Amino acid sequence: MKLNILLCLLIAVVLFWTACKKNEEVIAKDSTPYILDTYNLPDFNIAPDNVLTIQGVKLGRMLFYEKKLSKDGSQACASCHVQEDGFSDKNQFSTGVEKKLGGRQAMPIFNLGLHKISFFWDGRAATIREQSLKPIQDPLEMNETLDNVVKKLSNDNIYLDQFIRVFGDNKITTERISLALEQFMTTIVSGNSKYDQVLAGKAQYTPEEERGRKIFFTEFDPSGKVKGGECFHCHGGPNFTNYQFQNNGLNTDNEFTDLGRYKVTQNASDKAKFK
């Protein structure tokens, strides 16, 4: 009798263990490509050593919204790069951890794959991946060390599993974090706005919008007969930028409070120039 009971218990344990193994997800590297829809925009510049994958973009998105990247767990990249505000900050100066006020506003980060020069307002980062790590370490932004970020993520099984899917093993490094963030940020595309829809013949401007369009794309006429704004000279092309660093001329040399590009190049002609 006892033998039969023990045998039944053994069979039950084996069946339970087998069922658990069947339901257990096998985690492995998944290099399925991510198909980026850029609408009618020019082809994006994708780093050849960081080809977009579905799992890579997913990991980048997880990190973009992850508050563990900040010192006190209160902020993520998305805290200042707010989607409903064009992945930017509608405030004049962005607020970091401990309510510290930054010196600038968080830049909009859509269509980064079209950018032809370096990143940040002053261009201090050459690539998206380099740019992605700097706010984490900035004392006025997320104010955290990269070593601490790696430690926090390494204690999270969800991240360990996702790093396996992207890189083939669960080793978390700052380089891999930056590659994943670069993948996600490259996929933030603005190519279906009303402007794009009008160009495609799928929408029409209101009379007021049409007046604005004409002012934006018309040369200034000194006679005053044609009221053009000449905006398109600097804000031109599919991404409405000339990808240059420029001084908007609002301040005199004695009034500069932010030297902009000069902080990077130390070239006097770059004072108060911004992307």
Whole-number Å distance between alpha carbons of 142 and 158: 22
pLDDT tens digits for range 70-91 = 999 999 999 999 999 999 999 9
What mean pLDDT is predicted for residues 232-240? Answer: 91
- Three-state SS for 119? strand
Q: Does the pLDDT at position 23 exceed 80?
A: no
What is the band of 21 on the pLDDT scale with cuts at 50, 70, 90? Answer: very low
pLDDT tens digits for 160-172? 999 999 999 999 9
What's the mean pLDDT when you consider all of the chain?
90
Tens of pLDDT, residues 119-159: 999 999 999 999 999 999 999 999 999 999 999 999 999 99
Distance (Å) of CA 229 to CA 35, 42, 235, 244, 246: 38, 26, 11, 19, 18
The pTM (predicted TM-score) of the whole model is: 0.86
Q: Which residues contact 189 (CB under 8 A, 6 or more apart)?
A: 36, 37, 38, 39, 41, 44, 110, 111, 113
